[in-house]
Amino acid sequence: MPLFNDILKKIIPGNIISPIYHSSIFNNNKASKLAITTKRLDLCSSQIANILFLSSLSSNYPLRDKVCMEIGSGWVLSHALIFYLLGAKKIIATDIQRIASPKSLYLSIHRSIISIIRDILSPFEDHHIIRSRMNRLLEINKFSFDILKELGITYIAPIDLVKEPLNMKIDYIFSNSVLEHIPVSNIPPFLKNLTDNLSPEGKMIHCIHLEDHKDSYNAPFDFLSESKEKFTNDIQTARGNRIRLNHWEKILSQTNNIDFKIIYKHSRLDKKMPEKIDNSIDYKNEEDLRISHIGILGTKTG
């Protein structure tokens, strides 16, 4: 099934639809829908807890008093609130476009089961600290960027981290379904800038979705057959950059002053591969092509 956005682009001229996608009305509506579904605070807490568990950061690298940064925070800053609950002293939420809607956080919190948030995060911070900070969030009736600053959360957008690192040291960097949207040629400078931002022994975790975002449910591998010439940077941003695990490992190994390791990988076996794989795709075998999700952990060494 074609993406709804693709259908709109076919029937509405670009000079009309672009302002719609960048309007506050669109962003607020999108944020409200996400806040009661995938960006609910309890669901996002589960995701962060799983990542911290898989990366073994629960005991040897607690987030209390750390400076944390999320890349590609999106419309609802739920992950920033989770880092706040885990005791971070400062949280930087970034995005390449300014689309966040702070008021949606009220829905994200109040549509969640609060006890689940406390319980699922408790292996990574003292329960009484999580409860205290959670109670503070529950007392806020209207979230704004100023309120978030009082909590230690700063929103920086727009910012292109491929072109410019932040002028500060970060202890922990997190992204979810972001790196696959960065064109292949931009990945090395992006990782370099992030590494430069990390404090000594700082950590970064990236959850990367390797499927075709045009229709990941029904046709997760279709983009692998597209020619390199047709698969422009704009298309890579929209559908995914097509980097397979084998290629990711090469890129990561060439990034200086940081050690990377794969903390999880999932494969997709229920859909057929295209008959032809474009010769620009760097891969080992069909197993490599079928990997659909990976998590990478980087630790600053220099």
For the chain, the maximum distance between any two Cα atoms, rounded to a whole number of angstroms, is 56
pLDDT of residue 2: 40
Q: How far is CA 25 from CA 32, 97, 156, 202, 283, in A?
A: 11, 15, 20, 38, 42
Q: Is the N-terminal amide bond of 158 cis, ω within 30° of 0? A: yes
Backbone phi, psi, residue 167, to 5°: -90, 60
Whether 175 and 206 have beta carbons less than 8 Å apart is answered as yes
Helices 114-121, 78-85: axis angle to 10 degrees equals 60
Domains and CATH numbers, the chain: 160-302 (3.40.50.150)
DSSP three-state, residue 285:
coil
Scan for tokens 């298309």, then name that residue: 235
pLDDT tens for the chain, 302 residues: list them.
Answer: 344 444 444 444 444 434 544 678 899 999 999 999 999 999 999 999 999 999 987 667 899 999 999 999 999 999 999 999 999 999 999 999 999 999 999 999 999 999 999 999 999 999 999 999 999 999 999 999 999 999 999 999 999 999 988 989 999 999 999 999 999 999 999 999 999 999 999 999 999 999 999 999 999 999 999 999 999 999 999 999 999 999 999 999 999 999 999 999 999 999 999 999 999 999 999 999 999 999 999 999 97
Q: How far is CA 295 from CA 60, 146, 160, 197, 278, in A?
A: 19, 33, 22, 20, 25
Q: CA 162, CA 182: separation in Å to the nearest integer? A: 9
User: pLDDT digit string (tens) for 223-252?
Assistant: 999 999 999 999 999 999 999 999 999 999
What is the pTM for the complete model shown? Answer: 0.91
Q: How far is CA 247 from CA 9, 87, 172, 187, 206, in A?
A: 32, 36, 24, 11, 15
Name the β-bridge partners of 266.
Answer: 293
